[in-house]
């Protein structure tokens, strides 16, 4: 067994990626507050360090030093597992996303991805479904009517958005002819798939807003009707874990959008062929753009009513995704 190639390199890659994701998730909370406040003609956090850059640290310290309260009426095991499941599901999603080409590091060929899985897309969809378990179990085990309603909404919402989410990706699969995310990225050297699949891109973007419980589809946690829904009974670091899971999920979902539709690290090939790190920078720029889009949408749209969201999912997105799939299939078959 080649210890360096088979053990140490994957372990180091995994640790670096997990740490980077944690930092990215923490800083997404800062970024959102900052961007959102600019949309609202405010400054946002600007006291902790220059531009409030230390705000996530301050928030983390505050959350850790809060008293750990487990309410007496909760199902303790599930209550404690809830945030962990949410968080873990988000972290392992990133495992199949390639964030750069193969690079020459200290004389070793290292691929800038953790797992090169043949069914990467399928893996993404499967894990995306897992994340909802954290929310559902957390809401249910809280033994509180608001939390339960939040959890119920999360389940119903999951069933509704998973369908258009999967269907909108089938167009990509048909065009590339592979479920491997690396091959999907390699395919987009000349054209990002958003040019070939604009409808699929829009559907996926909307579905992924719902998947990460983001405004305008943040129905499980609606703070004004369900007082934060499934998070009502959580405090301190457990709440912070849910919170950071949501923001890390935003980062990961943006990475998925960037990989599948915006060309990942490959497009435009003229730039990414210059140096592997330019490719990584391209990927990061695309992720940041999608994250900005997330906040932009949140700042612009009111929350959708629950039944309207259901209707929108089943009566609009699913048929549109099916039409998109049929048209793509015909075009792919003819060309």
Q: What are 106's two structure tokens?
A: 């200290």
Tell me how far, at minimum, the Cβ of 287 lies from other proteins, in Å. Answer: 19
- Contacts for 270-274 with beta carbons within 8 Å, 24 or more apart? 272/101
37 binds other proteins (CB under 8 A): yes
Three-state secondary-structure class, residue 296: helix
Q: What are 143's two structure tokens?
A: 């033994």
Rank residues 46 and 143 by Cβ distance to other proteins and give the closer one: 46
As a whole number of Å, the end-to-end CA separation of the chain is 46
Tell me how far, at minimum, the Cβ of 285 lies from other proteins, in Å. Answer: 18
Tell me how far, at minimum, the Cβ of 244 lies from other proteins, in Å. Answer: 25
H or E element in which residue 110 lies:
strand 108-111
Rank residues 136 and 205 by Cβ distance to other proteins and give the closer one: 205
Tell me how far, at minimum, the Cβ of 315 lies from other proteins, in Å. Answer: 8
Candidate residues 42, 76, 305, 311; the one interacting with other proteins per rule CB under 8 A? 42
43 binds other proteins (CB under 8 A): yes
41 binds other proteins (CB under 8 A): yes
H or E element in which residue 244 lies:
helix 236-260
Tell me how far, at minimum, the Cβ of 50 lies from other proteins, in Å. Answer: 13
Rank residues 269 and 297 by Cβ distance to other proteins and give the closer one: 297
Tell me how far, at minimum, the Cβ of 316 lies from other proteins, in Å. Answer: 6
Q: What are 138's two structure tokens?
A: 């957390």
State the number of binding residues for other proteins (CB under 8 A). 14
Tell me how far, at minimum, the Cβ of 71 lies from other proteins, in Å. Answer: 34
What part of residues 265-304 is at the interface with other proteins (CB under 8 A)?
296-297, 299-301
- Contacts for 159-163 with beta carbons within 8 Å, 24 or more apart? 160/210, 160/309, 160/310, 160/313, 160/314, 161/207, 161/210, 161/211, 161/217, 161/313, 161/317, 162/125, 162/128, 162/129, 162/207, 162/211, 163/313, 163/317, 163/318, 163/321
What part of residues 133-152 is at the interface with other proteins (CB under 8 A)?
none
Residue 144 phi/psi, 5-degree rounding, is -145, 135
Residue 105 phi/psi, 5-degree rounding, is -110, 115
316 binds other proteins (CB under 8 A): yes
**Segment near other proteins (CB under 8 A), from 37-45, 91-99, 106-114, 179-187?**
37-45
Rank residues 54 and 297 by Cβ distance to other proteins and give the closer one: 297
Which residues of the chain form contacts with other proteins (CB under 8 A)?
Answer: 35, 37-43, 296-297, 299-301, 316
């Amino acid at each position: 067994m080649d210890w360096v190639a088979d053990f140490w390199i994957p372990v180091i890659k995994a640790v670096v990626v997990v740490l980077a994701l944690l930092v990215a998730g923490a800083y997404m909370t800062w970024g959102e507050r900052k961007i959102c406040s600019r949309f609202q003609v405010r400054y946002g956090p600007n006291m902790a360090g220059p531009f409030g850059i230390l705000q996530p640290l301050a928030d983390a310290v505050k959350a850790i030093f809060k008293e750990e309260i487990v309410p007496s009426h909760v199902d303790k095991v599930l209550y404690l597992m809830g945030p962990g499941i949410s968080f873990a599901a988000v972290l392992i999603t990133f495992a199949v996303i390639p964030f750069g080409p193969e690079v020459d590091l200290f004389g070793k060929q290292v691929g800038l991805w953790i797992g090169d899985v043949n069914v990467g897309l399928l893996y993404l969809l499967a894990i995306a479904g897992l994340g909802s378990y954290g929310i559902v179990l957390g809401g249910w085990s809280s033994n509180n009517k608001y939390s339960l309603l939040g959890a119920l909404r999360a389940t119903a919402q999951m069933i509704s958005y998973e369908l258009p989410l999967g269907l909108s990706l089938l167009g990509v699969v048909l065009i590339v002819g592979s479920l491997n995310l690396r091959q999907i990225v390699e395919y987009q050297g000349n054209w990002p798939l958003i040019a070939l699949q604009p409808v699929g891109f829009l559907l996926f973007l909307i579905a992924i807003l719902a998947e990460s419980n983001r405004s305008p589809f943040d129905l499980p946690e609606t703070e004004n009707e369900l007082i934060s829904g499934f998070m009502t009974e959580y405090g301190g670091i457990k709440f912070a874990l849910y919170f950071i899971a949501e923001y890390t999920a935003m980062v990961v979902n943006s990475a998925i959008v960037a990989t599948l539709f915006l060309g990942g690290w490959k497009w435009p090939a003229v730039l990414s062929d210059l140096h592997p790190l330019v490719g990584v920078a391209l990927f990061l720029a695309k992720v940041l753009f999608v994250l900005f889009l997330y906040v932009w949408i949140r700042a612009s749209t009111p929350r959708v009513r629950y039944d309207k969201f259901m209707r929108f999912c089943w009566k609009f997105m699913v048929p549109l995704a099916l039409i998109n799939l049929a048209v793509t299939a015909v075009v792919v078959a003819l060309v």
